[in-house]
């Protein structure tokens, strides 16, 4: 257990990714998010985001051990299920998923098998792994990629949500998502997206599909 805690401490010591908090910002986050949600709901009849209501807890950090790698490093998981922005992040994920670039991705293992079956049978299949992908996704750059894709790409119909409002909500759900640690401390992940966030896969797919 001591080694497990020390590995989590080492992850949290990266000040470029994590910021220690001295107070619980949940009520501030609810207020700021609801202000933007009200703006969106008043601006369009085609998209309705439910306001954030009720009491919420902080997300929480734990680690999954990578037993297949030397030193058995931990993969940090930040469960945001109890957090105030969890349901909002799920809504945004559903709204934005149709805009994810698909040029370099496959939708399922069935599609992969079809590609292999139709290939000429020459060449090499390689599996490349991006180390700590979610943690290393640059949030600000990825939000800009999403904005360009949703509002300025001629191949997609613009979303009927004010751009500035969507930008703010994505920022809130990723950079203002507080969580508690194994030592009872409060942190937020200020860059990179959290495994455990409904937006984690979405942001990774947008970023990897654009770079």
Residue 168 lies in a domain: yes
Residue 105, pLDDT score: 73
Query: With contact defined as beta carbons under 8 Å apart, do 139 and 162 qualify?
Result: no
Residue 110 lies in a domain: no
- If one counts the domains in the chain, the total is 1
Query: With contact defined as beta carbons under 8 Å apart, do 30 and 195 qualify?
Result: no
Residue 140, pLDDT score: 95
Residue 118 lies in a domain: no
Residue 108 lies in a domain: no
Residue 74 lies in a domain: yes
Structural domain containing residue 170: 2-99+124-210
pLDDT tens per residue across all 211 residues of the chain? 888 999 999 999 999 999 999 999 999 999 999 999 999 999 888 888 999 999 999 999 999 887 777 777 888 899 999 999 999 999 999 999 999 987 767 777 888 888 778 777 777 777 766 666 778 899 999 999 999 999 999 988 888 999 999 999 999 999 999 999 999 999 999 898 888 899 999 999 999 888 6
Residue 49 lies in a domain: yes
Residue 114 lies in a domain: no
Geometric angle at alpha carbon 19, from 16 and 20, rounded to 5°: 145
Query: With contact defined as beta carbons under 8 Å apart, do 9 and 187 qualify?
Result: no
Residue 111 lies in a domain: no
């Amino acid at each position: 257990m001591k080694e497990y805690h020390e590995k989590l401490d080492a992850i949290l010591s990266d000040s470029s990714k994590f910021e220690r908090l001295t107070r619980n910002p949940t009520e501030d986050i609810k207020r700021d998010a609801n202000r933007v949600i009200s703006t969106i709901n008043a601006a369009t009849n085609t998209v309705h985001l439910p306001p954030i209501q009720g009491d919420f807890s902080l997300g929480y950090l734990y680690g999954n051990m990578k037993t297949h790698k030397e030193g058995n490093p931990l993969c940090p998981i930040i469960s945001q299920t109890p957090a105030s922005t969890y349901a909002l992040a799920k809504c945004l994920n559903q709204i934005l998923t149709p805009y994810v670039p698909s040029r370099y991705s496959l939708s399922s293992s069935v599609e992969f098998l079809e590609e292999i079956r139709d290939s000429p049978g020459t060449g090499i299949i390689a599996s490349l792994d991006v180390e700590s992908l979610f943690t290393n996704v640059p949030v600000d750059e990825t939000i800009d990629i999403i904005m360009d894709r949703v509002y300025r790409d001629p191949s997609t119909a613009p979303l009927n949500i004010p751009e500035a409002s969507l930008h703010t909500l994505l920022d809130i759900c990723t950079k203002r998502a507080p969580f508690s640690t194994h030592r009872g401390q409060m942190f937020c992940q200020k860059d990179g997206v959290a495994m455990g966030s409904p937006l984690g896969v979405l942001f990774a797919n947008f970023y990897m599909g654009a770079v």
